[in-house]
Structure 1
Amino acid sequence: MAKYIGLMSGTSMDGVDAVLCDISLNSCTTLAAHSLPYSSELLSALNALCIEGPDELNSLAIADRLVAETFAKVTLELLEQNELSASDITAIGSHGQTVRHHPNSDVLSAHFAKSSIRGFTCQIGDPNTIAVLTGIDVIADFRRKDIALGGQGAPLVPAFHNAVFASDDKYRALVNIGGIANISLLAPKRETSSPKGFDTGPGNTLMDQWISLHLNKSFDKDGIWAATGQSHSGLLERLLLDDYFALPAPKSTGREYFNINWLSNALADYFPSSAELQSEEKNNNLAPEDVQATLLSLTGSTIAQEIVKHLPKTNKEGLKSEVVVCGGGAFNKVLMRYLSSALSDYVVTDSHALGIHPQHVEGAAFAWFAHAYENNIPGNVPAVTGASKAAVLGARFKQI
């Protein structure tokens, strides 16, 4: 066994997670974890970097260093809390902070013709700075090799989920609900099948942005605000018309697509000025909490419909398949009830059932990716990302 630390901050940007793991070729055990929020100044800058705007290059370069300093600080505090030194850690696996994800070349540029634009993904958090400040080698830059091989660069976690969480005999889906939701579809180990997976669409990001706009809160704790509203079936149908939901895998997305502007455009489209609208819909007067309830239904329904489509309900012995939820969405009680109801033919639980806190799964994943790099284990699954081949992901940044 060797100790690794995984560093992760997802599209929700609700904090940096550092997860300490003991990892061997056959197991990954979470030992401890620690989290830190970004400073308000840095969080504001990161949110701004997720959309096109002025002063991007300078802001990106500064944020790159400040994110790294936050990652280093949470690492050092984790070591102190567990009475460990840098020499006890084989390596850090750092995901970085995603600020743009456009693997399909779906951007415009003032400097390049459309034929010259290439797909890309951008994660910041300078690994050189993390290595120097912690005294630990850092493995980072996990996504761009897959992009170079023609893949989406996401989701990467199915390889980790399959290695660590596949059942001996049951079908299992791992559902990560961060800002964006993704699923990993795992066959029983005895079938020796490769995992499948993709981003289903928005996870928490639209709900977070909507409650921030109306209540100045960063997230809807336990789904309480959504529970005060009523999901609007007509609006939900309009939101589900987005082309992304009908795309076949491989596919991935981000908050540069599913954001408050996307929602505003959908609301404006659904509530035009028309005398034919129902009285409750006139003048775009759907209550904000009803929109929140509808956004929760959007997340739940897009996850549930993909699981029903792709995951068998039982194995050949009749044992029910399992749906295991992780990420921040696992703590949204209303969303979990929605999934349990929509997936009543499955066993729905969270990752506590597999021995790991839902908030620590992604951090543990990048500890595992560092281990995979060290042991020449491919980190991508071509059937998931669309890459032309499997590859060892990442690069090493030495502490001296």
Structure 2
Amino acid sequence: MNSTWKRIFNIIQKPERLIIGLMSGTSMDGLDIALCGVSGSGTDTSVRLIEFKTADYTNEFKAEIKSIFSRRDADLQMVCLMNEKVALLHAEMILEAIAEWGQQPEDIDVIASHGQTIFHAPHSLHGLSNYPNATLQIGDGDHIAVKTGIVTIADFRQKHIAAGGEGAPLAVYGDYLLFSKKGEDRIMLNIGGIANFTYLPGSNDATKVFSTDVGPGNTLMDQFVQKHYEGLYYDENASIASAGAVNPALLKELLQSEFLEADFPKTTGPELFNLEYLIAAQSRSGTLLLPKEDVMATLCRFSAQVIVAAVERCFERDKTPSIFISGGGMHNPLLLRQLKEKLSNASFHSTDDLEINPDAKEAVLFAILANETLVGEDVDFGSREGVPSVRMGKICLP
């Protein structure tokens, strides 16, 4: 047997696999690196979060990604170059983390790499009748595998699209395997650049589980801060938004999007919710000269309102779901306060209550997806559009 495949066969036979999950989101703050011990598969999956860190990106590197991020006119040569550069930097960060944790590369069984999304183009966004759903993540898995010497599973979203999905969100799979609880309706709410959640019914019926994007989380606020406040990448502690007042006219126009009315599940990105979207809403509402603090306050309320509306579509007003929050938006006190005020019947928790660091959750979920690629059997999520019953990821060999 080929020695590399023999190695993979041995990994599959282990009672617990050491898998490093990676996540770099649309906020582009850095690379989340989660070292997980994963045993079992399917609904018998068990995970230990052994180590976690976020390796920060330099401002120069962020600027390089932003030069091709969510741009229809991106330089094709730069896309090619950054596909390799992102992978090499991620590999370097992984090796540094492994050393920092007192491990050796040969101790790690698998790397699960999400890559860096630079463009997301489901049919619902591009609207071109002769073209399919599409998405593009850069950070080539082969480069990571070769530089680290570790088997790498990457490019998860393409299989989802090939099987009939939109390539996002993928949290439904890991959320169901790890966090479902008999007798308790749960919402696993992730507030990243885009806010999304997974609905986990207390019945534990996989055919009723779904995951959906709901609209902007941090992306509009982050983009506005980065344009108008030199040296800042986000509104820390909501200090800017808290100094402003919500403008009802602007908020009304921000809410005028067909996406927000579309049925679940659905997916979106900064390709729709960007500064052009904001400027168009300001033009329609006559608020182009609105103080920056008021714009930020309104953007924060906008994010809160779309999340609230989406949750309320899942539950009657007298229901009391448990909402478990993760992602960068959980650190925005103004946003959280508005969610809790509007969803007063819900109980709010951090995924810390489920023994998963909320900042590590998405990286952990990709470790779970990689484990399913290696040892998982079929899990039936029903025949609903957008939630194919599929295992994902391409195996890249060192």
Following TM superposition, by how much is the alpha carbon of 1:310 offset from its aligned partner in structure 2, in angstroms?
0.2
User: What residue number does 1:291 align with?
Assistant: 295
- Which SS does the other structure have where 1:258 is aligned? coil
Q: Percent identity?
A: 33
User: What residue number does 1:2 align with?
Assistant: 17
Residues 378, 393 of structure 1: 8 Å contact kept: no
User: What residue number does 1:241 align with?
Assistant: 256
Following TM superposition, by how much is the alpha carbon of 1:115 offset from its aligned partner in structure 2, in angstroms?
5.2
**Pairing partner for 2:164 from 150, 154, 159:** 150
Give the root-mean-square deviation of aligned CA atoms: 2.1
Residues 68, 74 of structure 2: 8 Å contact kept: no
User: What residue number does 2:174 align with?
Assistant: 160
Residues 250, 383 of structure 1: 8 Å contact kept: no
CA deviation digits over 1:302-334, x for unaligned, max 9? 11111122036677xxxx421111000111111
AA aligned to 2:136 is C
- Which SS does the other structure have where 1:330 is aligned? helix
Following TM superposition, by how much is the alpha carbon of 1:37 offset from its aligned partner in structure 2, in angstroms?
2.3
Residues 380, 392 of structure 1: 8 Å contact kept: no
User: What residue number does 2:391 align with?
Assistant: 392
User: What residue number does 1:77 align with?
Assistant: 96
Q: Does 2:125 correspond to 1:121?
A: no
Cα distance change on mapping 1:195 and 1:314 into 2, 3 Å: farther
AA aligned to 1:80 is A
User: What residue number does 1:64 align with?
Assistant: 83
- Which SS does the other structure have where 2:359 is aligned? helix
TM-score after normalising by structure 2:
0.89
User: What residue number does 1:278 align with?
Assistant: none
Following TM superposition, by how much is the alpha carbon of 1:166 offset from its aligned partner in structure 2, in angstroms?
1.4
AA aligned to 2:161 is I
| Aligned positions of 1:155-234 closer than 5 A | 155-188=169-202, 190-191=204-205, 193-216=207-230, 217-234=232-249
- Which SS does the other structure have where 2:360 is aligned? helix
> What CA distance in whole angstroms lies between the structure 2 residues aligned with 1:91 and 1:342?
42
Q: Does 2:308 correspond to 1:300?
A: no
**Pairing partner for 2:285 from 267, 270, 277:** 270
AA aligned to 2:134 is F
Residues 173, 369 of structure 2: 8 Å contact kept: no
Following TM superposition, by how much is the alpha carbon of 1:238 offset from its aligned partner in structure 2, in angstroms?
1.2
Following TM superposition, by how much is the alpha carbon of 1:190 offset from its aligned partner in structure 2, in angstroms?
5.0
> What CA distance in whole angstroms lies between the structure 1 residues aligned with 2:379 and 2:234?
32
Cα distance change on mapping 1:378 and 1:179 into 2, 3 Å: farther
User: What residue number does 1:13 align with?
Assistant: 28
Cα distance change on mapping 1:395 and 1:379 into 2, 3 Å: farther
Gaps of 5+ in 2: 1-15
CA deviation digits over 1:88-128, x for unaligned, max 9? 222111000000000217449xxxxx554332100000111
Q: Does 2:59 correspond to 1:45?
A: no
| Aligned positions of 1:346-361 closer than 5 A | 346-361=346-361
Residues 49, 56 of structure 1: 8 Å contact kept: yes
User: What residue number does 1:277 align with?
Assistant: none
AA aligned to 1:395 is K
- Which SS does the other structure have where 1:6 is aligned? strand
Following TM superposition, by how much is the alpha carbon of 1:52 offset from its aligned partner in structure 2, in angstroms?
3.2
Following TM superposition, by how much is the alpha carbon of 1:385 offset from its aligned partner in structure 2, in angstroms?
6.0
Paired residues, what number?
378
AA aligned to 2:135 is T
TM-score after normalising by structure 1:
0.89
Following TM superposition, by how much is the alpha carbon of 1:234 offset from its aligned partner in structure 2, in angstroms?
2.1
Following TM superposition, by how much is the alpha carbon of 1:380 offset from its aligned partner in structure 2, in angstroms?
9.6
Following TM superposition, by how much is the alpha carbon of 1:159 offset from its aligned partner in structure 2, in angstroms?
1.1
AA aligned to 1:84 is Q
- Which SS does the other structure have where 1:358 is aligned? coil
User: What residue number does 2:10 align with?
Assistant: none
> What CA distance in whole angstroms lies between the structure 1 residues aligned with 2:137 and 2:74?
18
Cα distance change on mapping 1:333 and 1:365 into 2, 3 Å: same
Cα distance change on mapping 1:54 and 1:307 into 2, 3 Å: closer
